[in-house]
Amino acid sequence: MPAEIISGKKISEEIKAEIKSEVSILRARGIIPGLAAVLAGDNPASALYVKMKAKACEEVGIYSDVIAKDRSCGQSEILDLIDELNARDDIDGILVQSPLPDHLDEAAVTFEIDPGKDVDGLHPVNAGLLLAGRPAFEPATPLGILELLDRSGHNPGGKSVVILGRGRLVGRPLAVMLAHKSSKANATVTVCHTGTKDIAWHTRNADIVIAAMGKARFLTGDMIRPGAVVIDVGTNQIDDPAHLRGKRVVGDVDFESVNEVAGALTPVPGGVGPMTIASLLQNTLKACRRRHNLD
């Protein structure tokens, strides 16, 4: 029997409706949440992601300011821009779209962002607060995954969760968040990576498997136990002559084989991606409320 398909698109729309309602209340008081997105370089995927984020802001009533910089922009120019955004009263959240051009120091740019406006949750201050169990802003994709699991009826509390991948954007913060003693977490977490022996042994013993390795179709049906919940974070381009552009996007999960074994599964696209954007909006609203002492 095919798996239940967990629609991140549907759940993200529910979250955005909640945000829109809260934003309308703030607007009635003359408070307009604002998000600034910095786009450096000419990466088509980055440009598309920023466009989607700006569109989502418009849908819920959040002001957005997209600032595009040429690929040749220097480090000092980007840092000066961040300082300007830190000081702007109409901006509650700042995100710098990754990846930056190779000549820019992404860590230094992240460090320059005011932690109170770091809606990506990547500043060392926010990363430290997360590890201490006192999170201010949680990274958007891991936050979206927790919301996705909880709202789809697959709360991870008390369950065995295996995360494939230990990256700073998803794997590492997600492991910390899932282990927190909270209503949407409280799981037993295992993180698998390139140094893990027999990854399939771990995934076959998991209630929930979250694939965030960046390897197309890595997780196959024979690597999970029947009825497991599988969350696919991957976005990989593969060659496909049948598609108009000769390529298509697939996840880190081999959808066809896993679909025959899993109890529930997220698609790519339409799974985690929309939840990341919804979580970014949640963090922006949270930043606005905090700046105006409303929390």
Residues designated as active site? 53, 97, 120
Q: In what order do the strands lie in the sheet with 208-211?
A: 4-5, 264-265, 229-232, 208-211, 160-164, 188-192
Sign of the dihedral defined by the CA atoms of residues 175, 181, 183, 187, in that order: positive
Question: CA-to-CA distance for 151 and 52, rounded, in angstroms?
Answer: 23
Q: In this structure, how many other beta carbons lie within 10 angstroms of the beta carbon of residue 127?
A: 21
| Residue 83 three-state SS | helix
CA-derived radius of gyration, the chain: 19
Q: Which residues of 20-53 are buried (b: 16+ CB within 10 A; e: fewer)?
A: eebbeebeeeebebbbbbbbbbebeebeebbeeb
- Asked if 57 and 86 touch (Cβ cutoff 8 Å), the reply is no
Which amino acid is present at 224? I
